[in-house]
């Protein structure tokens, strides 16, 4: 049984983040979920927290701009002062700014790289040393099917998500002898509100290309995260767990 440790999940109010927070609560963790600090997101975060509480899940909700190095350092220090050491970090925050390369504006590229990849450095930098000193840590970085195989119109997103693998494997080597594991999870197409916005004929084509014959569910990803975040997962590090229904095998 995993101990009552503190877990942080970034991008917690999205479809995958909700399921991750619930799975970590079920695992016995104290969970802090983050959201991007703007008025619209703040309102959604309050509603999300109320919904979680109605379902019996107690999650601490905090605003955080994961692209801001200094803000991440302050966030980690404040959380640890209030709730205790951060033992589990799930780097889940991510955005898309899709366009073919001929229309890929510089800010489309930089926004996605900063949010989907640099954010992982920002937060790992803030918590990694403490994990090593305490002799325990679980870091799970969320990549993507499209980071493994590439995707038309997503060179920024695919580049960021592919970068997750090199980042993960490198710091996994730094933490391995100190009780800190670092792994990645690569979701395929998951049944979230964002995916459901895809036109029906295109979505049908996507599902037809998935060997198991369906979209994944958020819980499919959350279970993978909880597995890698468990105290008992100490011999798994530097790996990527692909959860894509067999759509891409490597």
Could you identify the residue written with the tokens 């601490």? 60
pLDDT at residue 40 in the model: 86
* Residue 195 half-sphere exposure toward CB, CA atoms < 13 A: 19
| 249 assigned to some structural domain | no
| 1 assigned to some structural domain | no
The answer to whether the predicted template modeling score (pTM) of the entire model surpasses 0.75 is yes
| 192 assigned to some structural domain | yes
CATH of the domain at 157: 3.40.50.720
| 176 assigned to some structural domain | yes
| 50 assigned to some structural domain | yes
| 89 assigned to some structural domain | yes
| 250 assigned to some structural domain | no
pLDDT at residue 197 in the model: 82
pLDDT at residue 1 in the model: 47
* List 157, 165, 189, 248, catalytic entry: 157
Q: Residue 230's CB: how many other CB atoms inside 10 A?
A: 19
pLDDT at residue 135 in the model: 98
pLDDT at residue 19 in the model: 97
Number of domains in the chain: 1
| 107 assigned to some structural domain | yes
Give catalytic status of residue 248 as yes or no. Answer: no
Quick: pLDDT tens for 165-184. Answer: 999 999 999 999 999 999 99
pLDDT at residue 35 in the model: 96
First and final CA of the chain: distance in angstroms?
Answer: 32
Could you identify the residue written with the tokens 């366009």? 99
CB 61 within 8 A of CB 48: yes
Q: Which domain does 16 fall in, by range?
A: 6-243
Q: Name the stretches of the chain with pLDDT < 70.
A: 1-3
């Amino acid at each position: 049984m995993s101990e009552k440790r503190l877990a942080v999940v970034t991008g917690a109010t999205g479809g995958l983040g909700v399921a991750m927070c619930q799975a970590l609560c079920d695992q016995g963790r104290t969970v802090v979920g983050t959201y991007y600090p703007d008025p619209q997101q703040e309102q959604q975060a309050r509603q999300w927290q109320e919904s979680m509480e109605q379902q019996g899940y107690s999650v601490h909700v905090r605003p955080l701009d994961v692209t801001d190095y200094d803000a991440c350092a302050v966030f980690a220090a404040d959380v640890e002062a209030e709730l205790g050491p951060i033992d589990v970090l799930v780097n889940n925050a991510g955005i898309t700014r899709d366009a073919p390369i001929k229309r890929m504006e510089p800010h489309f590229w930089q926004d996605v790289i900063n949010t989907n990849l640099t954010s992982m450095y920002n937060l790992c930098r803030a918590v990694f040393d403490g994990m090593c000193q305490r002799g325990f840590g679980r870091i799970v970085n969320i990549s993507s099917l499209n980071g493994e195989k590439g995707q038309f119109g997503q060179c920024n997103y695919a580049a960021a998500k592919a970068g997750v693998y090199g980042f993960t494997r490198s710091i996994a080597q730094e933490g391995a002898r100190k009780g800190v594991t670092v792994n990645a999870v690569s979701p395929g197409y998951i049944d979230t509100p964002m995916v459901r916005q895809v036109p029906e004929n295109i979505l049908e084509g996507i599902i037809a290309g998935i060997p198991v014959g369906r979209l994944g569910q958020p819980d499919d990803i959350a279970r993978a995260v909880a597995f890698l975040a468990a105290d008992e997962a100490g011999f798994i590090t530097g790996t990527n767990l692909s959860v894509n229904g067999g759509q891409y095998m490597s």
